[in-house]
């Protein structure tokens, strides 16, 4: 019999099984980390929108009006937020900014796919307090600036 070097089929199968077990443990943690990162990005983006709204009101709104829509904040001549956020979607979240009455605006961030791109939705109005709600349940009344939904919790 020759002195053959290499791995037997059983040894290779054991290695493949070990890799599969490690992947089964690591992938859910990786997905949870991604959701958490998307949520942190959404919160940061809402802070950016709030700061941009304050700047817009001071510079372009005669200290009364806010910008109606994220695209206005990233539009030509204004450029207070980046174009990606101005388009209304960033890091797995959809952003909506409304201002219907003077001195009141609302901005919401909802996950594009609840449970996959994020577990919570967020909202902010002219007071600057960011609220979180589970899933896609955040609401924002542009007439009063009240952020609501299912059990809104202030996170800032």
| Model pLDDT for residues 71-102, shown as the tens digit of each residue | 889 877 788 999 999 999 999 999 999 987 77
Percent of the chain with pLDDT over 70: 98
Q: What are the domain boundaries of the chain?
A: 9-154
CA dihedral in degrees (40, 45, 48, 49; nearest 10)? Answer: -140
d(CA 20, CA 11): 14
Helix, strand, or coil here: 49?
helix
Residue 156 has pLDDT above 70, yes or no: no
d(CA 104, CA 149): 18
Residue 2 has pLDDT above 80, yes or no: no
pTM for the whole structure: 0.83
| Model pLDDT for residues 108-149, shown as the tens digit of each residue | 999 999 989 999 999 999 889 999 999 889 998 877 888 888
User: In the prediction, which pLDDT does 121 show?
Assistant: 95
């Amino acid at each position: 019999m020759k002195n053959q070097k290499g791995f037997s089929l059983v040894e290779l199968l054991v290695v493949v099984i070990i890799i599969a077990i490690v992947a089964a443990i690591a992938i859910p943690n990786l997905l949870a980390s991604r959701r958490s990162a998307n949520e942190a990005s959404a919160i940061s983006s809402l802070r950016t929108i709030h700061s941009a709204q304050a700047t817009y009101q001071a510079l372009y709104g005669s200290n009364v009006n806010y910008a109606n829509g994220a695209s206005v904040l990233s539009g030509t001549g204004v450029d207070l937020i980046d174009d990606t956020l101005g388009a209304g979607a960033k890091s797995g979240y959809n952003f909506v900014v409304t201002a219907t009455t003077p001195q009141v605006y609302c901005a919401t961030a909802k996950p594009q796919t609840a449970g996959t791109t994020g577990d919570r939705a967020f909202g902010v109005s002219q007071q600057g307090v960011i609220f979180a709600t589970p899933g896609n349940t955040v609401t924002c009344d542009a007439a009063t600036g009240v952020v609501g939904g299912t059990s809104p919790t202030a996170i800032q």
